[in-house]
Amino acid sequence: MKQMSSSHMDNIPSTPGKFKMEKSSYIQRCKHSSSVAKLTFFVFLSLILVFFFKSPSTSSSSSASQYSASSSISSDLSRRSLKTSSWGGLAWEKRVRSSARIRSRNGFSVLVTGAAGFVGTHVSVALKRRGDGVLGLDNFNDYYDPSLKRARQALLERSGIYIVEGDINDAPLLKKLFELIPFTHVMHLAAQAGVRYAMENPSSYVHSNIAGFVNLLEVCKSANPQPAIVWASSSSVYGLNTKVPFSEKDRTDQPASLYAATKKAGEEIAHTYNHIYGLSLTGLRFFTVYGPWGRPDMAYFFFTRDILKGKSIPIFEAANHGTVARDFTYIDDIVKGCLGALDTAEKSTGSGGKKRGPAQLRVFNLGNTSPVPVSDLVSILERLLKVKAKRSVMKLPRNGDVQFTHANISFARREFGYKPTTDLQTGLKKFVRWYVSYYGSVKKTDQ
């Protein structure tokens, strides 16, 4: 097994494709046409297009994705932002090759999807640091503040990692990347995350976590060589289970949110592609990952922001004042788990879309094994921030949250020595240090 790298980044500084307006062909045609009628038609069409893409329903801040150069215009509700960037060309190919170049003996070349995301950024840096070739892919959607994703991108650029701007639903783009680079591995972290947001924008979950995953697997199964794939599942697949700690052997057929259901679907889809095409697939069930460069939609992150702002913190509790708790897992431990899973992933067995023999299929819990009540999380933040939180205790809403998570990690420990070492107090201290350095120490931070 390769050496695992610890990826401290506390002091340094997922997904439909991009839409490219085919303006040029229209412009060409207009130039060569003397017909006033055609010109009028063009102006009219342009106005409709402009109206369509500026209209709040399609370009408002809460949709999930960008549309790819090759994907068609869709009325998919999951769109969060539309961009007109494109990929291709010699300079672009050079950047792709340079980023994916392996710099150590027996190194991997890894395509990291969701590379501008929280876990994706940390994993990419860790891989690069040990000499693997890393190419990122991200659609930079605005599910949360894209400027944070851009800052992570800048961080990766400084490590020599290029992030291709594109979407996992963009098959021509993915095919092109596999044509350029014989990736040994795919670290698939692009996804529509967040448990509660699934009620607001369900189609974004289907689009990224199901359609996008299938699209990626379609391209991987036809690639030659086929890569081994490690991908992000979720602790949420345990749903309404009450037996703790959660073991990989437990049932996962009672998801409490659409997010959980799409991750569970991903696990079944992984089974199918492993079975039919011989793809090596490893799913990682992450347990509430937190840390520097984290996701602003997660409780520890926006609690920090709101405590500093003097805003009240909604703390959920279950029926009869039942404790709501999470097995919060620090990002560096998760990175070690991801690298461990990559290092022990066996090769896919198929080629050219044909299975040649049985392939590896695994699922691991990556948690911390010590659940902490949400109210204790707030107490730790109060101490670290030296500000008293305005607590507003409320009933756990029926929007997908489960009461309790707790990982049994013995399988990951056995297979690749996974052993989390960061407790919540230590991890949050690093998070707060990063938060203050990133957003400034002013209490009334506004992000």
Ligand X SMILES: O=C(O)[C@H]1O[C@H](OP(=O)(O)OP(=O)(O)OC[C@H]2O[C@@H](n3ccc(=O)[nH]c3=O)[C@H](O)[C@@H]2O)[C@H](O)[C@@H](O)[C@H]1O
Stretch that binds ligand X, among 41-49, 167-175, 310-318, 424-432 (CB under 6 A): 310-318
Collapse the DSSP code of 236 into the 3-class scheme (helix H, G, I; strand E, B; otherwise coil) and give the result.
Answer: helix
Which residues, numbered 279-298, are part of the site for ligand X (CB under 6 A)? 286-288, 298
Burial 185-201 (b: 16+ CB within 10 A, else e): bbbbbbbbbbbebbeeb
Q: Which of 164, 279, 281, 324 binds ligand X (CB under 6 A)?
A: 324
Residue 345 near residue 282, CB atoms below 8 Å: yes
Any contact of residue 66 with ligand X (CB under 6 A)? no
Q: Which of 259, 290, 418, 435 is catalytic?
A: 259
34 Cβ neighbours under 8 A, 6+ residues apart: none
Residue 343: CB atoms within 10 Å: 16
CB 228 to ligand X: min, Å:
23
- Write down how long the chain is: 447
User: Binding mask 212-241 vs ligand X (x if CB under 6 A, - otherwise)?
Assistant: ----------------------xxx-----
CB 93 to ligand X: min, Å:
34
CB 437 to ligand X: min, Å:
21
Over its C-alpha atoms, the chain yields an Rg (Å, rounded) of 22
CB 62 to ligand X: min, Å:
16
Residue 297 near residue 146, CB atoms below 8 Å: no
Residue 324 near residue 318, CB atoms below 8 Å: yes
- Peptide bond preceding 420: is omega within 30 degrees of 0, i.e. cis? no
Question: Which of 153, 23, 149, 139 shows the shortest CA–CA distance to 76?
Answer: 139
Any contact of residue 194 with ligand X (CB under 6 A)? yes
Any contact of residue 140 with ligand X (CB under 6 A)? no
Any contact of residue 299 with ligand X (CB under 6 A)? yes
Q: Which is nearer to ligand X, 71 or 304 (CB)?
A: 304
Residue, CB closest to ligand X = 234
Q: Which is nearer to ligand X, 108 or 293 (CB)?
A: 293
Any contact of residue 439 with ligand X (CB under 6 A)? no
Any contact of residue 401 with ligand X (CB under 6 A)? yes
CB 374 to ligand X: min, Å:
4
Q: Residue 329 pairs with which residues in a beta bridge? A: 289
Q: Which of 64, 261, 308, 315 binds ligand X (CB under 6 A)?
A: 315
Structure tokens belonging to residue 48: 């409709």
CA 333 remoteness from chain centre: 17
State yes or no: is 238 an active-site residue. Answer: no
Residue 158 phi, psi dihedral angles, 5° rounding = -65, -25
Any contact of residue 119 with ligand X (CB under 6 A)? no
Integer Cα distance of 334 and 342 in angstroms? 12
Stretch that binds ligand X, among 91-99, 105-113, 308-316, 438-446 (CB under 6 A): 308-316
Residues that bind ligand X (CB under 6 A): 193-195, 234-236, 286-288, 298-299, 314-316, 324, 326, 374, 401
**Residues annotated as part of the active site:** 259
